[in-house]
Amino acid sequence: MEHAPVESTGIPNGKLGTWLFLASEVMLFATLFTSYIVLRVAAPSWPRGWDVLNVPLATLNTFILITSSVTIVMAHAKVLEKDKAGFRRYMFFTLLLSFGFLIVKSFEYASKFQHHHYPATSIFYAIYFTTTGLHGIHVIGGILFNAGLMIWGAGDGWEDPLFAGRVEYAGLYWHFVDIVWIFLFPALYLL
Amino acid sequence: MSDHKAHSEAAHVKIYMMVFGALMVLTIVTVLVSYLHLPPALGILIGLAIATTKASLVATFFMHLKWERRLIYGLLGLTVFFMIVLFAVPIVDNHGLKPNIIHYDQPAAEEAHH
């Protein structure tokens, strides 16, 4: 028995749920940005990001994340075009880029630890590790969901009427993770 | 119908690629501007403006907000409103906070690089 997405509000429930979830996520990250503003304004001194952090690596990660936003939106476009191979290709690239982001990030963290820079080192590093760490956890969450969709899509998921919607919601979440990075990057590294 | 859908999808793909290009260019611009080492206030203003533009491009096109329904706009409008309230509180109260919040002798970061 096939069932179409439920949309008693004119919008599929899954999409409305995803947006409500993202609204709560916006507030979660907004509290951290507020903490950043308060701590920075109140701190006796604040380092310039380029003095203490690796700007080229973070720039590379920005390119990686933006590209992965494009590949996941293409994966969804391929689902709408009923192009199964295309979907798998773009979702695979998305996963590859997501791992690339984590690998670059772990190099950054490793270099900080090597120089004995930990969250407890200073207020700057506390906010740096808290915000980028929470963002990193979101990247890992996205990888799990996207990998799950790829596996489901390889099996009977492809024929499921809810499949296209779920790929779209995975994309919405992933773009949100991209947007968070778009603000974290200048806030920590460039300003 | 599926023909129409495929057609509009192809139009979307074209838009996605243009947005992709714009995001890459804006990233390069924001990094280059940071190398000018502008005064903090000006730097923050420019950096925030570029980041907001990039985020809007992602939300409008990749997250399909351009083609979304009113319920979602309302939901997001409410979220943005409360987000601004959240940001405004410490800024408005900045005067009261500043002398009180951090006065232990730990510096914001070590002066030594790496």
- Predicted confidence at residue B48, as pLDDT, reads 94
- Predicted confidence at residue A38, as pLDDT, reads 85
Would you tell me how many other CB atoms lie within 10 Å of the CB of residue B42?
Answer: 11
Share of chain B above pLDDT 70, in %: 75
B62:A20 CB<8 A: no
Is pLDDT larger for residue B110 or for residue B65? Answer: B65
* Residue A77, phi then psi, degrees to nearest 5: -60, -40
* Residue A8, phi then psi, degrees to nearest 5: -70, -15
Q: What is the pLDDT of residues B23-55, one digit of tens each?
A: 999 999 999 999 998 888 899 999 999 999 999
Confidence of residue A40 (pLDDT cuts 50, 70, 90): confident
A81:B101 CB<8 A: no
Of B2, B50, B98, the CB nearest to A42: B98
Q: Is the pLDDT of residue A9 over 90?
A: no
B48 CB within 8 Å of a chain A CB: yes
Q: What is the pLDDT of residues A66-87, one digit of tens each?
A: 999 999 999 999 999 999 999 9
Q: Are A165 and A14 in contact (CB under 8 A)?
A: yes
A51:B69 CB<8 A: no
- Predicted confidence at residue B112, as pLDDT, reads 44
Domain range list for chain B: 1-63, 69-96
A42:B75 CB<8 A: no
- Over residues A25-45, the mean pLDDT reads 90
Confidence of residue A42 (pLDDT cuts 50, 70, 90): confident
- Predicted confidence at residue B98, as pLDDT, reads 58
Amino acid at A167: V
Share of chain B above pLDDT 90, in %: 60
ipTM score above 0.95: no
Q: Give A-chain residues touching B27 at CB under 8 angstroms.
A: 59, 62-63, 66
Q: How many angstroms separate the CA of residue A40 from the nearest CA in chain B?
A: 8
- Predicted confidence at residue B63, as pLDDT, reads 96
B102 CB within 8 Å of a chain A CB: yes
Query: What DSSP line would sit under B16-54, residue for residue?
Result: HHHHHHHHHHHHHHHHHHHHT---HHHHHHHHHHHHHHH
B57 CB within 8 Å of a chain A CB: no
CA-closest candidate to residue A71, choices A146, A7, A148: A146
A19:B24 CB<8 A: no
- Predicted confidence at residue A5, as pLDDT, reads 80
